[in-house]
């Protein structure tokens, strides 16, 4: 890999904040590992910033798809009981989660 496209800027990443956004609890050890590794990976990835891309449109997808429609017809769907059988907690044919209304 050539590093000739200029030095990418220093990486500024707050792993705790990102983990909170991603809803992932991390152990102290994991936090330390990622604090070491992620800036190195991001520093490499930041090489993309060195390329002159003015006037170049971003590509989000390899196919030039806009909207794909289908007719709004009733079809087969997944079996409710088969789906609920895989849920961690079920009550009255519904998924159960910890109560959310009292959360700050």
Partner 1 sequence: MSDFADLTIRQAGEGLRAGEFSATELLEAVHKRATMTEAELHAYLTIDRNGAARMAVAAESAFRRGEDAGPLQGIPVALKDNMVTRGVETTAGSKILAGWIPPYDATVVSRLQAAGAVVVGKTNLDEFAMGSSTENSAYGPTRNPWNPDTVPGGSSGGSAATVAAGSALGSLGSDTGGSIRQPAAFCGVVGVKPTYGLVSRYGLIAFASSLDQIGPFARTVDDAAVLLEAIAGHDPMDSTSYSGEVPDLRSGLGAGVQGLRVGLIAEMMGGEGYDPGVVAATRQIVAGLESAGATVAEVSMPSVDYALSAYYLIAPAECSANLARFDGVRYGLRVTGSTTEEMMANTRGEGFGPEVKRRILLGTYALSAGYYDAYYAQAQRVRTMVIGDFERAYEEVDVLIAPTTPTTAFRLGEKASDPLAMYLSDICTIPSNLSGHPAMSVPVGLDESGLPLGVQVLAPALGEPVMFRVAGEIERQASFSHRARLASSVVPR
Place of tokens 């289908």: 70
Strand partners, 94: 91
Q: What residues from 38 to 97 belong to the interface with partner 1 (CB under 8 A)? A: 38, 40-42, 44-49, 51, 53, 56-63, 65, 68, 70, 78-79, 82-83, 85-89, 95, 97
Smallest gap from Cβ 103 to partner 1, in A, equals: 5
SS3 of 5-52: CCCCCCCCCCHHHHHHHCCCCCCHHHHHHHHHHHHHHHHHHHHHHHCC
Q: Are 35 and 15 in contact (CB under 8 A)?
A: yes
32 near partner 1 (CB under 8 A): no
Which residues are at the interface with partner 1 (CB under 8 A)? 1-2, 5, 13, 15, 18-27, 30, 33-34, 37-38, 40-42, 44-49, 51, 53, 56-63, 65, 68, 70, 78-79, 82-83, 85-89, 95, 97-100, 103
């Amino acid at each position: 890999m050539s590093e000739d496209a200029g030095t990418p800027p220093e990486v500024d990443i707050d792993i705790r904040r990102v983990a909170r956004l991603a809803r992932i609890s991390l152990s102290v050890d994991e936090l330390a590992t990622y604090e070491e590794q992620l800036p190195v990976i991001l520093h490499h990835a930041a090489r993309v910033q060195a390329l002159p891309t003015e006037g170049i449109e971003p590509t989000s997808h390899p196919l030039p798809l806009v909207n794909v429609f289908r007719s709004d017809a009733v079809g087969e769907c997944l079996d409710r009981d088969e789906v609920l059988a895989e849920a961690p907690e079920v009550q009255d044919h519904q998924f159960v989660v910890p109560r959310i209304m009292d959360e700050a």
